Amino acid sequence: MGCGLCQGVAGEARLRVEWDEQGAYRPHVLTDLDPPTQAAIRAVCPGLRMQLPAPVSRAAGGMNDLIFGHVERMVEAYAADPEIRFASSSGGILTALAVHLLETGCVQAVLNVAASPDHPARSISHVARDRAGALAAAGSRYGPAAPLLRLHELLDAGEPFAVVGKPCDIAAVRNLARRDPRVGRLVVALLTVMCGGQAEMPFIWELLARQGVTEDELESFRCRGNGCPGPTAFETRDGRRFAFTYDEAWGDSIHEWGLPFRCKICWDSQGEQADLMSFDSVAPEHVEGESEGFNTVLVRTSRGGGLFREAEAAGAVVVTRDVGLDALHQWQPHIVRRRQNALSRVTGTALRSGVLPNVDGYRLLRAARTGGLRGFAHNAVGAWKRAGRARESMPSR
């Protein structure tokens, strides 16, 4: 999946997660890995294991939804600081929470992703230590990202920190917590986005190529932000500037992005292992002509609830209203469909590849029942075929 965690587990001298010419972060094994290291990697890899921990699935109170999981509280909100709200992807809640955690001394660092200084269309693992650092990482980056490449650096430093990442990144940190007690002691909050999947780099290269620009010429590249959703904007070192609306750049369906195969079979787009998630508020009144963004915030754990209440009380975030689960089903139909199809796709993939990931706790059978038998068969066969093609196109290393 390219999250970067296996590098920290095996050690950089033995395994490096590196950017390859196909535009993806992939693990490169440098020396023979002994069986315990291989087992440790398999145990933490979110590609193989996204397993809902019992305390999250069984938390008392709140609401439980078959598709979206356990929800303690769901509201519409935005960052009180206008600079944060403007620079961020939607309402700036994730950046506001990062700044709040840093400025109140709850954490010394926030692990997230930001544009690479050398190749701004690429994303690098980034550590924010203050407001400026958090702002530098604001905004969704839809291409490949390996936020966990620097996770072990923070664990080794022994200081409290928070992690912002996609649901798969968060699941990887939860996997590591089962083996490494430092995670439980030092990771103060796990924050995520609703994730329709990441765009493959060739999609971004093509976006640049249509304007006659190559990646090497870029001075800056943003997928969105600076308004909501804000322009997809890039600038070359020789001063050419380009800006596109969200629809012009990304199309009206996430399926046009060339999602990696693993994203298509993902069973946790809704980040059930996080403490809190923040995503687009696509309430009809915010979709047309809205330049000030709003987030829907979904609190999953009491730790996430405590953090959000403190940020609200401190005036870092502004809550506008409660949101119900019905709205979520309406606003995120692609996420609903993906969960309904997850079991069939994982099954089709497993039959073809022999790899059966751990999906415990995600209620996939019950979700599949709501999708119908025909849909199940169609998706299982589709995944079986695509798993074959995905395997053929994998690099041999």
Ligand X SMILES: Cc1cc2nc3c(=O)[nH]c(=O)nc-3n(C[C@H](O)[C@H](O)[C@H](O)COP(=O)(O)OP(=O)(O)OC[C@H]3O[C@@H](n4cnc5c(N)ncnc54)[C@H](O)[C@@H]3O)c2cc1C
Footprint of ligand X (CB under 6 A): 88-95, 112-113, 123, 137-142, 145, 147, 164-166, 169, 193-196, 198, 225, 278-280, 295, 332
Which is nearer to ligand X, 133 or 357 (by Cβ)? 133
Taking CB positions, which residue lies at the least distance from ligand X?
196
Which is nearer to ligand X, 193 or 323 (by Cβ)? 193
What is the Cα 342 distance to its own chain's centre? Answer: 17
Least distance between ligand X and beta carbon 279 (Å): 3
What are the phi and psi torsion angles at 134 (to 5°)?
A: -65, -40
Least distance between ligand X and beta carbon 111 (Å): 9
Q: If 0-12 CB within 10 Å is exposed, 13-18 middle and 19+ buried, where does residue 373 land?
A: exposed
CA distance 203 to 121: 11
Least distance between ligand X and beta carbon 98 (Å): 6
Least distance between ligand X and beta carbon 229 (Å): 8
Token pair recorded at residue 3: 């999250």
Least distance between ligand X and beta carbon 37 (Å): 25
Contact call for residues 156 and 165 (beta carbons, < 8 A): no
Token pair recorded at residue 212: 């006659």
Residue 254 in 3-state DSSP?
helix
Which is nearer to ligand X, 269 or 301 (by Cβ)? 269
What is the Cα 233 distance to its own chain's centre? Answer: 21
One DSSP character per residue, 362-386 reads S-HHHHHHTT-HHHHHHHHHHHHHH
Least distance between ligand X and beta carbon 86 (Å): 10
Strands (E) across 86-186 are located at 109-115, 123-128, 161-165
Which is nearer to ligand X, 79 or 208 (by Cβ)? 79
